[in-house]
Amino acid sequence: MNSSDIAERIVEAILAQKLAPGSRLGEQALSMLFDCSRTLVREALMQLAARGIVTVSARRGWYVVQPSEAEAREAFEARRVIETGLIRSAAPMDAARLAKLQRHLRDEQEALAGSDVGRRSFLLGDFHVCLAECLGNQLLADTLRDFTARTTLIAMLYQSTHDAAQSCQDHVEIVQALAAGDAARAETLMARHIGQVQQALRPGAAAHDPLAGLRAALAPVARPAPGDTRPESPTTPPPPYLGALL
């Protein structure tokens, strides 16, 4: 495993909503998880920092970014420009590429019917990367992977109310328009889709309490009143180990 592999595993975990905004990425924990040196981990984190997905603090170390409301608007605007422009300028897709997109849609629909929320989230985000690849621009597909990861973090941070089933249906309609050779309709549908996802965000919902973890840990322990024989409520389980997230 090289540093790029580690970086992509972290991006995949973000797309699957398994790494939340502000999650700390300890070099030692990651080196144990991936069975590699801290130097290799640091290289991966530096790659992600250059891509705007993680950041580093002299006091906190490495952690997943927490986009501001202004950065959220910019990220969605960038995706709108890139994705509608791709559709507008691309040549019609051949049967093999359309078949790849349709397989992706079937995977999305299966994930929606199942219980694996992480797989569902990953596939819904990865549709946009898959579309860019099928439209013949790998460079923009790589760029979209990073923007999609950032907008996934934004959706978590600002408690998006957008419905996953609606996203999947939007994707179906975009592919149907492309299959019919109607690029103008596909472009309109994509702009509408991205706009709806952005509108589902809840500005102001991301107020961050830096003492939240410590506050919860040091909250008074609930004790039964004298004579109360009811069983005690179970304690809150500890957060999952990083290996469960990646």
Whether 156 is covered by a domain: the verdict is yes
> Both 88 and 130 in a single domain?
yes
Which residue is listed with tokens 């309609």?
A: 173
Q: For residue 228, is it within any domain?
A: no
Instruction: Output the CA–CA distances (angstroms, integers) from residue 2 to 28, 169, 239, in the order listed.
Output: 16, 37, 28
**How far, in whole angstroms, is CA 86 from its chain's centroid?**
21
pLDDT reported for residue 221: 66
1: exposed, middle or buried (C-beta count within 10 Å: 0-12, 13-18, 19+)?
exposed
Residue 133 lies in a domain: yes
Residue 91 C-alpha from the chain's centroid: 29
Contacts of 97 (CB under 8 A, 6+ apart): 134, 135
Neighbours of 202 (CB within 10 A): 11
Q: Which residue has the tokens 């640091």?
A: 42
Does 218 or 150 have the greater pLDDT score? 150
Q: Is the model's pLDDT at 33 over the cut of 70?
A: yes
Question: What is the domain-level CATH number for residue 22?
Answer: 1.10.10.10
pLDDT digits (tens, 9 = 90+) for 65-84: 999 999 999 999 999 999 99
Question: Which residues, other chains included, contact 6 with Cβ-Cβ below 8 Å and sequence gap of 6+?
Answer: 30, 34, 36, 40, 41, 44
Last residue of a domain, which of 42, 66, 90?
66
- 88 and 22 inside one domain: no
Please give the span between the terminal C-alpha atoms of the chain, in angstroms, as a whole number: 14
Residue 114 has what pLDDT?
A: 93
CATH number, domain with residue 139: 1.20.120.530
Does a structural domain hold residue 102? yes
Which residue range(s) make up the domain with 182?
A: 69-199
Strand partners, 24: 63
Is residue 236 domain-resident?
Answer: no
207 has pLDDT over 50: no
Query: How many beta carbons lie within 10 A of that of residue 245, not counting itself?
Result: 18
The β-bridge partners of 161 are none
My answer on whether 73 and 192 are in the same domain is: yes
* H or E, element range at 125: helix 117-134
pLDDT bracket for residue 59 (50, 70, 90) = confident
Q: Bin 189: left if φ > 0, else alpha if -120 < ψ < 50, else beta.
A: alpha
pLDDT band at 1 (very low <50, low <70, confident <90, very high): confident
Cα-based angle 152, 153, 155 (whole degrees, multiple of 5)? 65
Check whether residue 184 and residue 77 sit in a common domain: yes
Q: Using the 3D structure, point to which of 66, 87, 102 is the last residue of a domain.
A: 66
Residues 54, 107 share a domain: no
* pTM listed for this prediction: 0.79
* Mean pLDDT (whole number) for 200-226: 62
pLDDT of residue 218: 67
- What separation in angstroms does the CA of 240 have from each of 23, 48, 65, 197? 12, 23, 20, 29
pLDDT in tens, 99-122: 999 999 999 999 999 999 999 999
Contact (CB, 8 A) for 10 and 246: yes
Residue 101 in any domain: the answer is: yes
Q: Please give the pLDDT value at position 215.
A: 54
Residues 87, 192, single domain; the answer is yes
